[in-house]
């Protein structure tokens, strides 16, 4: 079933505007040990598991949003296309395209709402029910593949806990582990970023800021390796922080050909703000999951990540972070003039960078992105 990574996470948000994700950020996660400063947060682990699931091919050509819509229409007609889009977390513009596609295939019938001519009533056709049956089998097979490390009772418990992270109105509509992971991830991301509205910060800034404060100056490649993200994703994050004056690119005292990232005084103050939001988000997650639920969900997400790493055949990353950083794709190439771009000198030899970003500060549980 074809994944829908770029649109499904942008539903209407009554609290505030959602920061759009670029393709670079959506494909940011790469294999590597998880930073201990992040691995304890369910919201972070959900992002990693969502990335792992999305990167796993399934060999079918069906769009995942088709299944979500058809499945939601099995029990009842839906009086508002916009309301259904919001409940399912699908961008309203994309929802129009999905309904157009399903209607063209004869799987959904769209009629004017007699009580409100501006709205459409959506109904599932007999052809749609037949198509849905095939999709449900494909979803069940894929979920079994993605969660093979868990037993049947554990899978059911995983789905139960993930559903608790969704709004009550959406819980009956979103079924299937992969879809629950995606929607829970998107909701927690929005929920966390809403706490930072007006600050110019995002929850995702916590990782690089906390790492740089803890380690001291380091190269962008080392930061990417530490966070287990791609070079372009690290560059995007650093550019955001540099633009706001929270991080500066100075010269590496041990190698003048490359840059060392340093947190500014404003950056340290901002870290305190984003840390408070991260802790509030973690508290909210614990409340949603109930007693013991957070520990249960964290343990299962870590098992899924470890299994994904092993099945993909990626060796565990180990050794000195600087020596391995030079091969990072999208990394730090020569010719940097010190502007907003995230590149650094291609002459980096992997020598001492003056940072303390080492594998000692990483979780031994690997991640697959």
Could you tell me the pTM of the whole model? 0.77
Q: Which token pair is 272?
A: 């305190």
Q: What is the pLDDT of residue 330?
A: 36
Tens-binned pLDDT, residue by residue, of the chain (369 aa): 555 443 334 433 333 334 556 667 767 888 778 888 899 999 999 999 999 988 887 665 667 789 889 999 998 898 888 888 888 878 889 899 999 999 999 999 988 888 887 788 999 999 999 999 999 998 889 999 999 999 999 999 999 999 999 988 788 888 889 989 988 999 999 999 999 999 999 999 999 999 999 988 999 999 999 999 999 999 999 999 999 999 999 877 676 667 799 999 999 999 999 999 999 999 999 999 999 999 999 999 999 999 877 765 554 433 333 333 333 333 343 333 334 344 443 333 344 445 556 544 554 333 333
Whose structure tokens read 């003039």?
Answer: 337
Q: What is the pLDDT of residue 8?
A: 38
Cα dist from 338 to 248, 320, 354, whole Å: 10, 27, 19
Q: What is the pLDDT of residue 353?
A: 46
From 97, 58, 35, 26, select the one nearest 227 (Cα to Cα). 35
Q: What is the pLDDT of residue 211?
A: 95
| Sign of the dihedral through C-alpha 94, 95, 97, 98 | positive
Q: What is the pLDDT of residue 361?
A: 52
353 burial level (CB within 10 Å; 0-12, 13-18, 19+) = buried
């Amino acid at each position: 079933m074809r994944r829908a990574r770029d649109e499904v996470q942008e539903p209407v948000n009554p609290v505030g505007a959602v920061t759009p994700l670029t393709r670079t950020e959506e494909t940011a996660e790469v294999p590597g040990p998880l930073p201990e400063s992040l691995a304890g947060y369910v919201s972070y682990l959900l992002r990693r598991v969502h990335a792992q699931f999305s990167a796993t091919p399934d060999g079918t050509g069906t769009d995942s949003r088709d299944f979500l819509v058809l499945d939601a229409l099995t029990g009842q007609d839906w009086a508002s296309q916009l309301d259904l889009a919001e409940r399912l977390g699908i961008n309203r513009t994309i929802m129009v395209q999905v309904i157009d596609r399903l209607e063209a295939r004869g799987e959904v019938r769209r009629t004017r709402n007699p009580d409100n001519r501006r709205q459409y009533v959506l109904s599932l056709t007999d052809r749609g029910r037949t198509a849905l049956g095939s999709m449900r089998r494909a979803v069940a097979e894929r979920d079994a593949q993605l969660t093979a490390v868990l037993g049947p009772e554990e899978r059911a418990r995983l789905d139960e806990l993930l559903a608790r992270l969704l709004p009550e109105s959406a819980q009956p509509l979103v079924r299937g582990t992969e879809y629950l992971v995606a929607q829970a991830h998107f909701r927690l991301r929005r929920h966390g970023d809403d706490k930072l509205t007006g600050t110019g910060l995002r929850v995702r800034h916590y990782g690089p800021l906390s790492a740089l404060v803890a380690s001291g100056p380091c190269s962008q490649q080392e930061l990417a390796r530490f966070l287990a993200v791609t070079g372009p994703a690290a560059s995007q994050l650093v550019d955001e922080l540099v633009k706001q004056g929270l991080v500066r690119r100075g010269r590496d005292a041990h190698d003048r050909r490359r840059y060392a990232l340093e947190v500014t005084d404003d950056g340290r103050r901002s870290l305190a703000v984003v840390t408070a939001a991260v802790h509030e988000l973690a508290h909210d997650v614990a409340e949603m999951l109930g007693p013991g639920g957070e520990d249960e969900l964290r343990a299962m997400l870590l098992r899924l990540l470890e299994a994904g790493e092993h099945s993909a055949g990626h060796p565990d990353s180990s050794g000195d972070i600087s020596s391995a950083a030079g091969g990072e794709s999208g990394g730090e190439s020569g010719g940097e003039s010190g502007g907003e771009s995230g590149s650094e000198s291609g002459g980096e030899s992997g020598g001492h960078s003056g940072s303390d970003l080492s594998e000692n500060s990483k979780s031994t549980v690997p991640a697959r992105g």
